[in-house]
Structure 1
Amino acid sequence: MHSAAKEFSRDSKRFFLVLTGGFLMAVNLVIFVKPADLFPGGFSGITLLLQDIFQKEFNLHLPYSLTVYAFNLVPAIIGFKYIGKRFTFFSVVMIFISGLFTDLLSGLGWPLLTDDILLCAVFGGILNAVAVVLCLLAESSSGGTDFIAIYISEKTGRSAWNLIFGFNCLILFFAGLSAGWNKALYSIIFQYTSSQVINLLYKKYSKITLLIITDKSEEVYRTIKQLTNHGATVFEGRGEYSGKNHKLVYTVVSAAESGKLEKQLRTVDPTAFINVIQSKDILGRFFRRHPD
């Protein structure tokens, strides 16, 4: 019963995060992206580009929600097969909510906040990143190219958001040919801002090396194993200042785990000396928690 209640609580939290992320994504499209005629990249950008083309060439309104749902069918299947069923379910919920509210809010005639394209590009990129990060914290995605980014990151253990930024710039190249280079270049600012904020806020694929000098190496290792499921290597050394022998515990964890782990290690051994190092790359076996 306790396990079922814990699972329900976790799923409720994930559901709240994807609902909030989906709503913020729709708000961003309506108040920043569309008024400035920006193209956010990915399937959202392709959908807006198609809407623009159909309106200009055929005088037809292409529904945003139905179009973006159709584009996400194949990525959703890939996510279901290679990433996780629950991950894909919550991602689909996010896609549905963002598409639905984009059409609903567009029909309400949302008031114009600013007509400055640069402000729309910067703050739209920030709001887009917040929406995406909420979905990532819920162990889901905002759909489209995010499915691809998560798949690559899970396979390689490295953040793929800069790679997706490059792919989106390619899309914006074609948008520039169709809708004008001014809008396309501002859209690249939007994409760059969004990618950098995501990298700043979401640390799952960043690695932290901990060098811990302690006299309680066994307790320290048990704490590392319990909280992160990562291993450690223990070295013996002598402190030249004190002349005493100590143990050096070496481990690598994700940046998302390091804060909680460092706090707990201080409880286990208040006298431990901990050196925290940003790790650029890791080669070899490294435990990763896969989304379900």
Structure 2
Amino acid sequence: MKIRKKLRKTNFEKRKLSWNPKITMQTLINFVTIIVGSFLFAIGVNSFMIAGNLGEGGFIGISIILYYAFGISTAASNLVLNFFILIVGFKFLGKRSMYYTILTIPMTSLMLWITEDWQVQSGEILVNTVFGGLFIGLGIGLIIRIGATTAGTTILARMANKFLDVNVSYALLFFDVIIVTIGVLTVLTLEQGLLTIIALYVATKVMDFIIEGMNPKKAITIISEKPEVLGKMINTEIRRGVTIMDGRGFYSKRDKDILYVVINKSQLTRLKRLIKRYDENAFVVVHDVNSVLGNYFI
């Protein structure tokens, strides 16, 4: 009887468990992007790098070394190595990145298995080098662009950044060079190692292009005696909004208006020419911009 009374008093409407995962169109696009990126990555590894007896950086580089030395499938070794490092360093990834990475690891291994026999035999090793780097850069770039990672040395680089205060990019380069060096000392010739470094460079450039987009941005800081004239010119002729900041010269102690504007890279030459026309004594600083967020920039 006591149990029944307690049950009647319980407000079950307030105790409903809310587990309602929302799969949006963007989530589906991200899943498709991971599949396409993994496929392109596998093409680069199997069809060009392995076909040309070349190595690679990251954990896939270790997988290729194991394949050359012992005939172990790159799909299997890539899966084991990446899941191991994911368990060790999972706390260095954000929640969203973690979910996508858990999907990416088996997907890349699956694609490596599917394309295992897809090899492009070329009489020119540079074809394998350039196109291997191209496809790998495209694949990894697409995966990173949607917020996922390929685990491996990416997690190691983040760990190095946290504990040793090392830049993530330098840490990644450091680990890739170590893996290529191990390859040269074991299964690769010096020439193959050097060609692998060229492929890594191509992959990095392609990756940056995919991640930053086809139209990178530039931030411009302008110190001028004619801020109103230049601001109006940028609004009307470049068609960009300008921010005016207060500044003060250290030596002169004079107050100055500082203009700040973000533009497309294609507009940079024209902006420089217009600034020179309206105020040739203006001090202009151009900054690289990795990404621009907000509704005021198209």
TM-score range, shorter chain: 0.5 to 0.7
Rounded to whole Å, the distance in 2 between the matches of 1:149 and 1:136 is: 15
Give the RMSD, CA atoms, in angstroms.
Answer: 4.4
* Aligned counterpart, 1:183: 192
Q: 2:92 aligns with which of 82, 103, 119?
A: 82
Rounded to whole Å, the distance in 1 between the matches of 2:195 and 2:286 is: 36
Q: Deviations over 1:237-260 (max 9, x none)?
A: 9xxxxxxxx954447x8xxxx649
* Aligned counterpart, 2:234: none
* Counterpart AA for 1:70: V
Q: Deviations over 1:89-121 (max 9, x none)?
A: 212222211111211221xx4252523222111
Contact preservation (8 Å) 1:79, 1:85: no
Q: 2:64 aligns with which of 48, 59, 70?
A: 48
Rounded to whole Å, the distance in 2 between the matches of 1:126 and 1:189 is: 11
* Aligned counterpart, 2:113: 103
Rounded to whole Å, the distance in 2 between the matches of 1:153 and 1:23 is: 30
The 1:167–1:119 alpha-carbon spacing in structure 2 relative to 1, beyond 3 Å, is same
Contact preservation (8 Å) 2:86, 2:155: yes
- Structure 1 unaligned residues grouped into runs of 5+: 56-61, 218-231, 238-245, 263-272, 281-286
Q: Deviations over 1:111-138 (max 9, x none)?
A: 5252322211112112111111101111
1:160 deviation in Å? 3.4
- The answer as to 2:246 corresponding to 1:235 is yes
1:24 deviation in Å? 0.7
Rounded to whole Å, the distance in 2 between the matches of 1:203 and 1:180 is: 33
* Aligned counterpart, 2:55: 39
Rounded to whole Å, the distance in 2 between the matches of 1:152 and 1:207 is: 29
Rounded to whole Å, the distance in 2 between the matches of 1:236 and 1:187 is: 49
- Structure 2 unaligned residues grouped into runs of 5+: 1-19, 232-242, 249-255, 268-278, 294-298
Q: How many residues align?
A: 238
The 1:77–1:68 alpha-carbon spacing in structure 2 relative to 1, beyond 3 Å, is same
Q: Deviations over 1:232-283 (max 9, x none)?
A: 772279xxxxxxxx954447x8xxxx649x9xxxxxxxxxx9x771259xxx
- The answer as to 2:128 corresponding to 1:120 is yes
Contact preservation (8 Å) 2:104, 2:149: yes
Rounded to whole Å, the distance in 2 between the matches of 1:9 and 1:80 is: 27
1:187 deviation in Å? 1.1
* Aligned counterpart, 1:20: 36
Paired residue secondary structure (1:202): helix
Contact preservation (8 Å) 1:33, 1:39: yes
How high is the TM-score relative to the length of structure 2? 0.64
